[in-house]
Amino acid sequence: MQPEVARTVCILRRMQRKSLSMWAWKAYTPLKAQPDELKFQLLDESERQTGSIAYASYRATKGELSSPWGQARIAYGKGLMSGPIVTLNDKQFISMGIHPLKKKIELTFADGRMIVFGLRKGSKNDIEFLDDKGFIGLYEEKGALPDGASSMPQLTKDEVEMLQKDQRPRSIETRKFTQVRLKTSGELPVSLEEIKIALMIVTSWVMLADEIPV
């Protein structure tokens, strides 16, 4: 199956954030962000919003989020090559295995079915699966909304200052965004809906990890 004929299934978009403080120790980080700062848009192939993913909490090794498919929790496994383990609606959904030397990522579903993705050469987060029946690709893209456009309502400075200190956001949304586009074609090893759910939830986790200052 040729990747060239793949169609867009959905897009997960994360608006980039700008710190409200000029001081480095008060800079935005998802590790200390409010839930309103930890939201993603789910878009269809025409970039119409169909849903959202929102984190109630995010830490380096665990997180809780709501999604169109239910409540989910993410926690890192204990093995050296273990990645996130996703629980959806109180049932284990998928686990991820990471093999950086082989440039491979394994997604294993609760019933044992597995998809092995390869990291796309020259990219950090792009992954692809290809066999003689089907294709799955996940690609990172960057862009910006037109002037004057906003994905979500923004608090004014006065509204922020009226909040209690522990509830104040550390950042505001900019017009710039990072998004990932899921594309598929042919016959897939698991259902399209399962692939969509797994990759959108895991990718949201990865995108927040990329925002942590180093």
For the segment 149-160, what is each residue's pLDDT rounded down to a tens digit?
555 556 656 666
Q: pLDDT digit of tens for each residue in the chain (214 aa)?
A: 567 789 999 999 999 998 887 776 678 899 989 898 999 999 999 999 999 999 999 998 899 999 999 999 999 877 667 789 999 999 999 999 988 888 999 999 999 999 999 999 888 889 999 999 999 999 999 999 987 655 555 665 666 666 666 666 778 889 999 999 999 999 999 999 999 999 999 999 999 999 998 8
pTM more than 0.85: yes
**According to the model, what pLDDT value does residue 66 have?**
98
Q: Which residues, at least 6 apart from 153, have a Cβ–Cβ distance to it below 8 Å?
A: none
Q: Which residues, at least 6 apart from 109, have a Cβ–Cβ distance to it below 8 Å?
A: 93, 94, 190, 194, 198
**According to the model, what pLDDT value does residue 152 have?**
56
113-121: list long-range contacts, CB under 8 Å, 24+ apart: 113/189, 113/190, 115/189, 115/190, 115/195
**According to the model, what pLDDT value does residue 155 have?**
60
Mean pLDDT of the chain: 89
- In the structure encoding, which two tokens stand for residue 170, read together? 């550390």
Q: What is the DSSP string of the chain?
A: --GGG-EEEEEEEEEEEEES-SSGGG---GGG--GGGSEEEEE-TT--EEEEEEEEEE-SSEEEEEETTEEEEEEE-SSTTEEEEEEETTEEEEEEEEETTTTEEEEEETTS-EEEEEEPTT-SS-EEEE-SSEEEEEEEEEEEPPTT--SS----HHHHHHS-GGG--SEEEEEEEEEEEEEEEE--SS-HHHHHHHHHHHHHHHHHHHHS--
- CA-CA distance, 1 to 76, in Å (whole number)? 33
**According to the model, what pLDDT value does residue 28 have?**
86
- Taking the CB of residue 39, how many other CB atoms lie within 10 A of it? 19
From residue 210, give the alpha-carbon distance in Å to each of 45, 72, 125, 158.
25, 20, 10, 30
- CA-CA distance, 54 to 16, in Å (whole number)? 15
